[in-house]
Structure 1
Amino acid sequence: MEKPVIIFGAKGIARPALEIFNSNEVVVYGFLDEDEKLHGTEINVIPVLGNPEDDGFLKLIGQKCEAFVAIDDTKYRKFLVKMLNERRKTQPVNAIHKSAYISTDAEIGHGNFINAKVNIGTAAKIGSHGIFHTGATIDHQAEIGDFVQVGASAVINSGAKIGEGAFIGSGAVIISGITVGKNARIGAGSIVIADVEEEDTVFGNPAASISKK
């Protein structure tokens, strides 16, 4: 990556994203965050420049800088991605830790956060703008939708399908061939042995629905 990166967001995954870019010798120009209290401060000597919607900084994106959206909240993450698509005609770049393993046969979209020791197997399909925390495993031929979050050490087994916006808690295991619906939530440590419906929340071993009826 030849251009420096501006990181949108200065909390949550912003610090590990900075580490990822540093480890790959990519220059980070600065952070943008809506919290005015952070403006003018620094994170590991990198300045928090201003607001993500400030045209003065946005005009740099796509010309002099790339963008990465380091926002944990899915709704706000979607808002910023849409803003970059529409106002700057650009897609956020991926932040991939140098210790992650990604098969040469895997497909990966844009704007993903892929932390240390994440393993993405052969013929896996990864959408865009996902968050994959330390040690997560996406086995061969698994399919992950856009804006999915996968917790540390979670395992998505072969052939499983995870719908857009789903949340998979740390240490959860999705058995091979299972489908997890759009915006579903899987509790930490759960073992999912049956399909999960859209918007449902499941927890336990085996995982069972805890959503209010």
Structure 2
Amino acid sequence: MSVAGTIVLGAGGHSKVVVDTLIASSVVVVGLTDIDLARQGTLVLNIPVIGTDNEILKYATDGIVLALGIGSVRASTLREKVFQKYTSLGYSFPKIVHPSAILSSVVHIGEGVQIMAGCIVQAGVEIGDNSILNTGAQLDHDCIIGKNVHISPGANLSGGVVVEDGAHVGVGATIIQGVRVGARSTVGAGAVVVKDVPPDTIVFGVPAREVKSQVRSSL
């Protein structure tokens, strides 16, 4: 069966960046879905919101591909749960790479990864499933990014940085070489991280210091 195109799940702010990236990559966008009934029938960059997420189930798993238009904020697991739900049903989430992003030929990119405009990804980088490299993020050589990670706009990771599953790196943050950011932790906007961050921890500041432990949300 031929693929009809891509459906984007979620019609909020992040979906605009996703739709724009898909259009720039000459991908056919069938429409968007959203659980918010107030968004039904509206347009995102002239692409219609065609219904709730149940609309996807009208398509065979090999008749459509999916993209997540749900953004990721700290301590949120919603994006992860939606990804797991539809992959378990057999739907696929191809990687999305904006044409202006610069990627080495020797990187590994998992399923559903989104690499937005202006990103730079150097040799030896690995990016786990369902992670976002948002606008202008830079990853130097041999960084390892886990699953369900969000590297926010303008973040800069030096060589050999490890960001574990579910972590969130804020806008404009800098992480020096060899540092490990633990699973589900948050690095605040503009922080400069010079030492390892334990799992489930929030750090802010220059240099970054622990603020408190983090509690995850299903939203």
Q: TM-score, structure 1 length as denominator?
A: 0.93
In the alignment, what sits opposite 1:204? 205
Q: Distance in 2 between matches of 1:4 and 1:44?
A: 16
Q: Say yes or no: does 1:167 pair with 2:174.
A: no
Q: CA deviation at 1:44?
A: 2.4
In the alignment, what sits opposite 1:58? 57
Q: Distance in 2 between matches of 1:167 and 1:41?
A: 30
Q: Which amino acid aligns with 1:97?
A: H
Q: Please say if residues 81 and 91 of structure 1, whose CA atoms lie closer than 8 Å, have aligned partners that are also in contact.
A: no
Q: CA deviation at 1:86?
A: 1.8
Q: Say yes or no: does 1:186 pair with 2:210.
A: no
Number of residues of Structure 1 aligned to a counterpart in Structure 2: 210
Q: CA deviation at 1:135?
A: 0.8
Q: Which amino acid aligns with 1:34?
A: I
Q: Distance in 1 between matches of 2:143 and 2:213?
A: 29
Q: Distance in 2 between matches of 1:205 and 1:61?
A: 50
In the alignment, what sits opposite 1:83? 85
Q: Which amino acid aligns with 1:31?
A: L
Q: Please say if residues 158 and 178 of structure 2, whose CA atoms lie closer than 8 Å, have aligned partners that are also in contact.
A: yes
In the alignment, what sits opposite 2:22? 21
Q: Please say if residues 20 and 45 of structure 2, whose CA atoms lie closer than 8 Å, have aligned partners that are also in contact.
A: no
RMSD between aligned alpha carbons? 1.7
Q: Distance in 1 between matches of 2:110 and 2:132?
A: 12
Moved over 3 A (4+): none
Q: CA deviation at 1:182?
A: 0.2
Consecutive unaligned residues of structure 1, counting only runs of 5 or more, are none
Q: Distance in 2 between matches of 1:126 and 1:3?
A: 27
Q: Please say if residues 61 and 67 of structure 1, whose CA atoms lie closer than 8 Å, have aligned partners that are also in contact.
A: no
Q: Which amino acid aligns with 2:151?
A: V
Counterpart secondary structure, 1:80? helix
Consecutive unaligned residues of structure 2, counting only runs of 5 or more, are 215-219
Identity of aligned residues (%): 30
Query: For residues 101-152 of structure 1, what are the alpha-carbon distances to aligned partners after superposition, in whole Å with 9 as ceiling and x for unaligned?
Result: 1111000001122111101110101111111111101111000001111111
Q: Distance in 1 between matches of 2:134 and 2:8?
A: 18
Q: Which amino acid aligns with 1:134?
A: T
In the alignment, what sits opposite 2:217? none
Q: Distance in 2 between matches of 1:97 and 1:61?
A: 27
